[in-house]
Chain A
Amino acid sequence: MVGVRSEALDKFREKLDRELKSGLVTVVLLAGIERTGPVYGYALLRDIQEASAGRLHFKEGTAYPLLQNLEKAGLVATFWGDGDAGPPRKYYEITTLGRSALKQALTDWAQLRDSVDGVFDTLGRKKA
């Protein structure tokens, strides 16, 4: 029925949103560090929010474990330094390995996006 939102539909949308963002947020963080680094967490997330005009929304706390994973994988290096104001902040800076990984991830993303768009397009033409 038009206009009726079921609980099942909301759950599906939540799950899809979570799964779609799961890997992409990591790539977005890495890209943000590559373009604006060295940068600390809050400033990075603020820049990403501005760049996405608020469209890319996720719990801010989820970013920090992902940043830790990037550090552990050797894709970013960190150091403590002064923030714009207040106490010292942990800064993130992309490594050579991180640049290679980002380049590959962006290529993979472009291919995936084109493939999926192609599927939607082809299936749509078939139905028509």
Chain B
Amino acid sequence: MSDIIEDYLRRVEDALAGEPEHARAVVREIRAHLTEKADDMMRADPTRDADVVAREVVDGFGDPDDLALAYRDGEPTAVRNRNTNEVVLEVGRAIRDAGKAAAPHVAAAGRSTAKAARAVGRGLGGFIKVVAIVLAALLVLALGAGVWAFYEVKPLIEKNVPVPVFSRSDWCDDDGCNLTRGPLTFYVHGAAREVRLDMGVHHDEGSLGAYSVNIRNPNGTLVYSESFPANATHNTQIHQAWSPLGGDWTIEMEYIAFKGHVDLDILTVGLPPESL
């Protein structure tokens, strides 16, 4: 690919710094656009200079900083790949947001406490008494802020815990499997934010078999199709995520002389706690 396009994509990714997973998803989508456009232009006129074409393509796309601003104005949400840090990131953001909302209240309470402490100090003249009162007040404030933050954060935590909607494990031993499972149905709540697939495909050593899976959304659109042929890596982990369509999704799995086992979980994220 042209250095000009790669350089442009680096600038876009840098402009979206702060949300690396979102930046990667954006860059992935834009790369597909820019490369296909450049290819189309070169096909239309193969005599053109590739770098000139690349420059036209990126100029026609727009300034990276403007692009990043446009994404941020819409408060982008990333389609994330599953990783162990994901819930921590969401909890961290939730605590940060709850803390920001609580800060004015905590500050106001702190000022009142300080005022009271000064009055007590002047009136009684006892340094130790003032310190003890201030410390007790700060402890009460901290506990109150913690309890308040917990009730603010709790529904956000609950909302971001993945909920399984389909789970299956198939073992195919010495004789191998030759069968088709499905189409099987699983239901996705319309209020969910995301549908996720976590799949582990484990071929036995020397297995010559194949496994394939197709997933369709309620419109019947094939959103995921993957085949794991013979001689594929022995152990493959797949993580995919899609925007949800509420309704019945279907999944179909096919085993052809397959030896090994497949673990498959489909989860939804983002349901309000009252719908769980």
Residues of A within 8 A of B (CB): 38, 40-42, 45, 59-62, 64-66, 68-69, 71-72, 76-81, 83-90, 93, 95
Name the A residues within 8 Å of B39 (CB-CB): 85-86
Offer 22 A-B interface pairs, CB within 8 angstroms, sorted by A.
A41-B29, A42-B33, A45-B33, A59-B61, A61-B63, A61-B70, A64-B26, A64-B33, A64-B67, A68-B71, A71-B243, A72-B74, A76-B243, A78-B79, A78-B243, A86-B32, A87-B28, A87-B31, A88-B32, A90-B32, A93-B221, A95-B245
Name the B residues within 8 Å of A45 (CB-CB): 33
Q: Do A77 and B217 form a contact, CB below 8 Å, given A42-B36, A87-B32, A95-B245?
A: yes
Tell me the complex Cα distance, A80–B70, Å: 22
Quote the shortest CB–CB distance from B67 to chain A (angstroms): 5
A93/B219 in contact, CB under 8 A:
yes
**Which B170-225 residues have C-beta < 8 A from chain A?**
217, 219, 221-224
CB of B150 closer than 8 Å to a CB of A: no
A-B contact count, CB below 8 Å?
92
Name the B residues within 8 Å of A59 (CB-CB): 60-62
Name the A residues within 8 Å of B29 (CB-CB): 41, 64, 89-90
Residues of B within 8 A of A (CB): 26, 28-33, 35-37, 39, 60-63, 66-67, 70-71, 73-77, 79, 217, 219, 221-224, 240, 242-245
Tell me the complex Cα distance, A77–B35, Å: 24
Tell me the complex Cα distance, A124–B33, Å: 46
Tell me the complex Cα distance, A84–B75, Å: 31
Pick from A41, A61, A79, A85: contact of B67, CB under 8 Å: A61
Smallest CB gap from A37: residue in B: B221
Name the B residues within 8 Å of A93 (CB-CB): 217, 219, 221, 245
Knowing that A59-B62, A80-B240 are A-B contacts, what are 7 other residue pairs whose CB atoms are under 8 Å apart, sorted by A's residue number? A41-B29, A42-B33, A65-B67, A72-B76, A79-B242, A81-B222, A89-B29
For the residues of A in contact with B, the DSSP-based class is mixed
Tell me the complex Cα distance, A122–B23, Å: 51
Name the B residues within 8 Å of A66 (CB-CB): 74
Pick from B32, B70, B222: contact of A42, CB under 8 Å: B32
Quote the shortest CB–CB distance from B28 to chain A (angstroms): 8
Tell me the complex Cα distance, A63–B69, Å: 13
Pick from B62, B70, B224: contact of A60, CB under 8 Å: B62
A65/B73 in contact, CB under 8 A:
yes
Pick from B28, B32, B76, B223: contact of A79, CB under 8 Å: B223
Name the B residues within 8 Å of A65 (CB-CB): 67, 70-71, 73-74, 76
Quote the shortest CB–CB distance from B263 to chain A (angstroms): 22
A42/B37 in contact, CB under 8 A:
yes
Smallest CB gap from A43: residue in B: B36
Tell me the complex Cα distance, A30–B224, Å: 23
Identify the interface centre among A45, A84, A85, A95: most chain B CB within 10 Å of its CB. Answer: A95
Name the B residues within 8 Å of A77 (CB-CB): 217, 242-245
Tell me the complex Cα distance, A95–B28, Å: 24
Name the A residues within 8 Å of B74 (CB-CB): 65-66, 68-69, 72
Name the A residues within 8 Å of B28 (CB-CB): 87, 90
Name the A residues within 8 Å of B243 (CB-CB): 71, 76-79
